[in-house]
Amino acid sequence: MSHKYAALRMRQIHRNPHQPRKTFDEGALKELADSIKEHGLLQPIVVRKVAEGYELVAGERRFRANELADNITIEAKILLPEGGSEISDMDSFEKAMAENLNREDMLPLEEARGFKKVLDDKYDGDPDQVPAVAKTFSKSVQFVNQRLALLALRPEIQAAVDLGHIGTQAAVQIAALSKDNQAAVFQDWRKGDKSDNQLVHIAYAMRKQEKAATQDSMVDVDEMTPEEKAERSRAQAKTKSDLDAIEGMWALLDSIGKADPMELARTLAGEVGKRLEQMDRVADVVAKARFQLRQAKAHADASEIMVNPAAAAPDLVAEADAVLAQVDPAVGDTEPEAQAERAPEPEPAPAADADTETEATPAADAETESAAESEEDDTEAEAAAEPVAVGA
């Protein structure tokens, strides 16, 4: 796109009303203003010509800092229309969005609303066009879908995500739940004894239980036949016996763990490599078994947290209003239900790719775990959403 450079008066420039980034760190702005006073503005802002002066396209932070520095002019790159066509609002918004996406301090929900605006205004909200949105900003489809999924969160959870209290991976899993169960998870999280990693597993387990409930695939013990109850009792006894037997191996492993390496080498002369491979196989199986037990714990925790879908969930919206107003005043007037209806089906995947955060993934456990196999009736998207742990 053709352009020219010029020094413009600050009063000639209007802020973009659709600026995707709403939150700016005042301390960082002050530091930038001091730098501008000392060294000048090193990178010009980007503007487009409008009816009354110029509108900011990119460089909102630099513009605000220059204002704090009490400068009356600012260096600007002026975008010029080509072929008689004006620079559209969408072109301007996409450029502002692209610049801010590369900044670490753009909030997850700001990114989500930016992607949603492009999807709605440019592609009429067609979820099949998410790949086109992702391509526009050089992001993966998974990254964009995960951000869009955040729009289905209750507002108090959105506020917690933007404030950095709940990681985006955990939030994506929570977003897949019903509004009642989202509120229940949030209430439990507020006790302060759940990490992001635990939230990922618990929310995923709750989603599986929600699905099982709608498919009527959860069998109550009282509904079992005597034969089914007997089989269940035998299975319970065997599982507990197996776990007790594994506990008995602790002393054997502990003795190896305390052995002197040089003495082990002499004792296992010629077999060290073979025995190490043997131990690696055992460690791999133990890691898989431990992962399954962690998933079982998540299901047990989820069962305690789950609310009756027909029951009224605790309404925490009023409590979060003040926080939401600080994060994004415009969002406080938006009904979360409406946001959820417009958001396309999410494709959450806690195992991060190059574009996604890893803060909430089970990789934080510092141990090797492998994913539990998904049930046969799971869809491909749900399989992708299953928590996966990778050795740190």
Query: 299 burial class (0-12, 13-18, 19+ CB within 10 angstroms)?
Result: middle
Q: Is residue 255 part of a domain?
A: no
pLDDT at 104: 61
The total number of structural domains in the chain stands at 1
Q: Which domain holds residue 40?
A: 3-98
**Nearest 5°: phi and psi at 141?**
-60, -40
pLDDT confidence of residue 302 = 83
User: How many Cβ atoms are within 10 Å of 171's Cβ, its own excluded?
Assistant: 29
Is 254 within a domain?
Answer: no
On whether residue 75 sits in a domain, the answer given is yes
* 136 closest CA partner among 112, 119, 121: 119
- pLDDT (0 to 100) of residue 115: 94
Q: What is the pLDDT of residue 135?
A: 93
Give pLDDT, residue 77.
87
Inside any domain, residue 79: yes
Please identify which residue in the block is written with the tokens 């897949």: 176
pLDDT number for residue 153: 95
Which residues does the chain have with pLDDT short of 50? 308-324, 326-384, 389-392
**Residue-by-residue DSSP string for 103-159:** STTS-HHHHHHHHHHHHHHHHTT-GGGHHHHHHHTT--HHHHHHHHHGGGS-HHHHH
Question: Residue 22 — φ and ψ, nearest 5°?
Answer: -105, -25
The most distant pair of C-alpha atoms in the chain lies apart, rounded to whole Å, by: 87
CA–CA separation, 18 and 57 (whole Å): 10
pLDDT digits 0-9 by tens, 287-336: 998 888 888 888 888 888 876 443 333 343 444 444 445 444 444 444 43
CATH of the domain at 19: 3.90.1530.30
Tokens encoding 261? 């390496």
Question: Taking the mean position of all CA atoms in its chain, how far away is CA 326?
Answer: 21
In a domain, 350, yes or no: no
Please report whether residue 321 resides in a domain. no
Q: 57 near 92, Cβ under 8 Å?
A: yes
The model's pTM is: 0.59
As a whole number of Å, the end-to-end CA separation of the chain is 45
Do the bridges between strand 45-50 and strand 73-79 make them parallel or antiparallel, or are there none, so unpaired? parallel
Asked whether residue 379 is assigned to any structural domain, the reply reads no
- Residue 68 forms part of a structural domain: yes
